[in-house]
Amino acid sequence: MPSLPQGVQAAEQIPKALPEVPGITGVDGSMSVRDMAMGFEGKKISMRQDGKGTYITISIQPNDVPVDLLSQPVGARYQIAMVLLDDHDRPVKPRDMEEGDKAVQSAAMLCRNPKFQKWMDKMGLAIMATEDACADGVRAYCSIESRSDLKTDRRGRELFHELRNRFENSFLNDI
């Protein structure tokens, strides 16, 4: 395989989180959005917001600019996936994603806690003091379909933290 310019990633290095788009396939029917992605390293220069959206200015080294990007007209639409890199070019997990992962773990552990199960039952948030009923109650309270939704659903995460705080504060008030 020929070497790529510095900062340009091969398609297999592009995150797999890019969604598949129905109806967009190559000649053999196997091409996905990830297969069509242009990879390059950029540096955030500025950002501003107005009523129409958020505008991000990214600087790309001249040798790293994909030719196809240059040939498209202004106004062409792109699906963009960005990964923050540290000083050693290693991916950095976004803080929001870290918080989401912690909330998912916390919800699972809490639902296994017999004291939390009893509290949820006593508060009328679960139909009985079991792990499954507790998980159902957490999902209903947080307006989510699965506890794993806490990874990406900020409002659900806020509601989960509120629920957990109510539970913890109930013990403080009893002391």
87 shares its domain with 99: no
Residues 117 and 135 in one domain: yes
Secondary structure (3-state) at 126 = coil
Structurally, how many domains does the chain consist of? Answer: 2
Query: What is the reported pLDDT for 30?
Result: 62
Please say which residue of 57, 76, 92 terminates a domain.
Answer: 92
Residue 125, domain extent: 95-174
Residues 100, 49 within the same domain: no
Which pLDDT band holds residue 10 (cuts at 50, 70, 90)? very low
Name the band, by pLDDT with cuts 50, 70 and 90, for residue 68: confident
82 with 162, same domain?
A: no
pLDDT tens-digit series, residues 35-45: 777 788 888 99
What is the model's pTM?
0.54
Are 117 and 110 in contact, with CB atoms under 8 Å apart? no
Rounding to the nearest 10 degrees, give the CA dihedral for residues 121, 124, 128, 134: -70
| Boundary (domain end) residue, out of 92, 109, 130 | 92
Mean pLDDT taken over the chain = 82
